[in-house]
Amino acid sequence: MRSQHQQGIEASTHGLWAATAPVLQTEPLSGDSSADVAVIGAGYTGLSAALHAREHGLSVVVLDAADVGFGGAGRNVGLVNAGLWLQPNDVLKALGKSYGERLIAELGRAPQVVFELIECNAIACEANPKGTLHCAVGRKGVSELEQRFAQWRELGAPVELLTREQTVAEVGSTAFAASLLDRRAGTIQPLAYARGLATAAMRQGAHIYSQTPVQKVEQERARWKLSTSRGSVLADWVVVATDAYTKGPWAEVRQEQVALPYFNLATKPLSPALRESILPSRRGAWDTQSVLTSFRLDDAGRLIFGSVGALRSGGAAVHKAFSRRALRTLFPQLAAVEFEHAWYGTIGMTADSIPRFHRFAPNVLGISGYNGRGIGPGTVFGRLLAQHVAGKLREDEMPLPVSPVQSPKLRHLKEWTYEYGAQLAHLFASR
Ligand SMILES: Cc1cc2nc3c(=O)[nH]c(=O)nc-3n(C[C@H](O)[C@H](O)[C@H](O)COP(=O)(O)OP(=O)(O)OC[C@H]3O[C@@H](n4cnc5c(N)ncnc54)[C@H](O)[C@@H]3O)c2cc1C
């Protein structure tokens, strides 16, 4: 684990979400302990695995190198979407009929799983299950949405393709040619959701430790010993839930992903009149551009605007200037509005945009690589991992096949291209 100083802006870059999420106190692990299941990583995957493992009566210890929600879980846009970025037909092509159909069905229901967990556990996280809007830029965008619409409708999903006029009314901007309204989806305060899952898991008896990087994992007879700087956990099962923020053992999880940086800026709370004119139904939205932008409101009426890019070195100024221009074009009434919070994080992309299910060693499992759509999938996969560990779901009944860890070709070059390509795109974009 690198020091706080070496991590620079990433170490404290949870922006608005850290400012408005309920506080959660957790301590580092000190001493030796034992559990049925040790979970490495306190994001959605690890916390959902922990909560559901407790429901199956298993004892659980969760260890996070930093804090609950330190990774993608505390930095994302908060769009709780159904399915993957890939369109359903592409999922079938990549995985075949059996796994593909299971994955599409599981992730189609993922927002429902998230919103039910929020309700059952009374998680205060600004949950708004009113749907999301995917907004078309130009003719190319419209044809992409037409395909998505046709494929999801074929599967019986409650999606609607909105006309330009309907989109103008939904978004409060004339920038988009159409939009896809997905009524399964919605928005949350993402860090509050992670902390709420952690609270629910602890209430059920899970032990969660922060500032506790797992440094070494070794087999001790039939069990696994996880070593940290001040203690250890002996467990029958290990769930590796470290995704794009992986450090220490199983570093290959990170090496199999291409890191895509994504930033968010939040305005001050808008006046009631401005609020009425922007996303009046409070649905979160994003567009079809390849360097996409996203925008949504929080409960206090701040507009959260995001796009691809890292707010470090020259990128910070370029992306902020682009965001001001983009907001002025999308919502001219916001021309004078100041940004109050800025933060960014790393999204883990896989070569074929499909998440990965790994068996690293006997009884050591992990799922990762959500390609920017991890709230629903992380929650669902955590639940499925817990079912598998509890003996309720066979490995071949999971919606993903076990696959070996494979590093993508030219990973560093692709990461460089994402970061600096986004800077170039934003430097020259008129909005
Ligand atoms: C800026 C941004 C915007 C996004 N927008 C969306 C969105 O709108 N909707 C959506 O669905 N998804 C979105 N995502 C993706 C989503 O946030 C991730 O897919 C999700 O957080 C993955 O969850 P996770 O639990 O697998 O991993 P994470 O939430 O990343 O958690 C991993 C945890 O593992 C810990 N860890 C790592 N190594 C160790 C170790 N050795 N020992 C102990 N702990 C360790 C880390 O500290 C971290 O807390 C976005 C991501 C980013 C960064």
Give the C-alpha separation, 322 to 332, whole Å: 14
Residue 8's pLDDT is what?
Answer: 30
Phi, psi of 256 (to 5 degrees): -85, -5
Ligand 1 centre distance from Cα of residue 33 (Å): 26
Give the C-alpha separation, 376 to 185, whole Å: 9
Backbone region of residue 309 per phi and psi (left: phi > 0; alpha: psi in -120 to 50; beta: other values): left
326 lines ligand 1 (CB under 6 A): no
Ligand 1 centre distance from Cα of residue 305 (Å): 19
Above pLDDT 70, what percent of the chain? 97
Helices (H), 343-428: 375-389, 411-428
Residue 10's pLDDT is what?
Answer: 34
58 lines ligand 1 (CB under 6 A): no
Give the C-alpha separation, 388 to 366, whole Å: 12
Residue of the CA atom closest to atom 5 of ligand 1:
76
Residue of the CA atom closest to atom 22 of ligand 1:
374
Q: Which of 137, 162, 132, 165 has the alpha carbon at shortest distance from 149?
A: 162
Ligand 1 centre distance from Cα of residue 395 (Å): 24
In sequence order, what are the residues at sequence separation of 6 or more whose Cβ sits closer than 8 angstroms to the Cβ of residue 169?
Answer: 280
Asked whether the beta carbons of 84 and 353 are under 8 A apart, the reply is: yes
373 lines ligand 1 (CB under 6 A): yes
State the CB neighbour count (10 A cutoff) for residue 105: 12
Residue 430's pLDDT is what?
Answer: 67
284 lines ligand 1 (CB under 6 A): no
Give the C-alpha separation, 97 to 104, whole Å: 10
In sequence order, what are the residues at sequence separation of 6 or more whose Cβ sits closer than 8 angstroms to the Cβ of residue 345?
Answer: 10, 13, 71, 72, 75, 76, 244, 261, 262
Ligand 1 centre distance from Cα of residue 163 (Å): 35
Local structure of 374: helix, strand or coil: coil
Residue 3's pLDDT is what?
Answer: 34
What confidence tens digit (pLDDT) does each residue in 238-296 have?
Answer: 999 999 999 999 999 989 999 999 999 999 999 999 999 999 999 999 999 999 999 99
Phi, psi of 280 (to 5 degrees): -60, -25
| pLDDT under 50: residue ranges of the chain | 1-11
State the CB neighbour count (10 A cutoff) for residue 57: 9
Residue 163: exposure state from Cβ atoms within 10 A (0-12, 13-18, ≥19): exposed
Residue 335's pLDDT is what?
Answer: 85
SS (H, E, C) 198-235: HHHHHHCCCEEECCCCCCEEEEECCEEEEEECCEEEEE
Class of domain 4-77+191-257+351-409: alpha beta
Q: Which of 80, 78, 81, 97 has the alpha carbon at shortest distance from 89?
A: 97
235 lines ligand 1 (CB under 6 A): no
In sequence order, what are the residues at sequence separation of 6 or more whose Cβ sits closer than 8 angstroms to the Cβ of residue 171?
Answer: 133, 135, 179, 278, 279, 285
Angle at 168 between CA 162 and CA 170, to 5 degrees: 70
74 lines ligand 1 (CB under 6 A): no
Ligand 1 centre distance from Cα of residue 73 (Å): 4
Asked whether the beta carbons of 41 and 24 are under 8 A apart, the reply is: no
247 lines ligand 1 (CB under 6 A): yes
71 lines ligand 1 (CB under 6 A): yes
Residue of the CA atom closest to atom 14 of ligand 1:
372
Ligand 1 centre distance from Cα of residue 272 (Å): 33
Q: Which of 237, 234, 248, 218 has the alpha carbon at shortest distance from 364?
A: 237
What confidence tens digit (pLDDT) does each residue in 183-213 have?
Answer: 999 999 999 999 999 999 999 999 999 999 9
Residue of the CA atom closest to atom 19 of ligand 1:
374
Tracing tokens 């990762």 back to the chain, one arrives at 368
Residue 150: exposure state from Cβ atoms within 10 A (0-12, 13-18, ≥19): middle
Counted residue by residue, the chain has a size of 431
Q: Pairing between strand 216-220 and 231-240?
A: unpaired
Q: What is residue 58's DSSP assignment?
A: -
Asked whether the beta carbons of 118 and 125 are under 8 A apart, the reply is: yes
Domain range list for the chain: 4-77+191-257+351-409, 132-183
Ligand 1 centre distance from Cα of residue 331 (Å): 30
Q: Which two tokens stand for residue 333?
A: 């009434």
Angle between helices 375-389 and 190-203 (to 10 degrees): 20
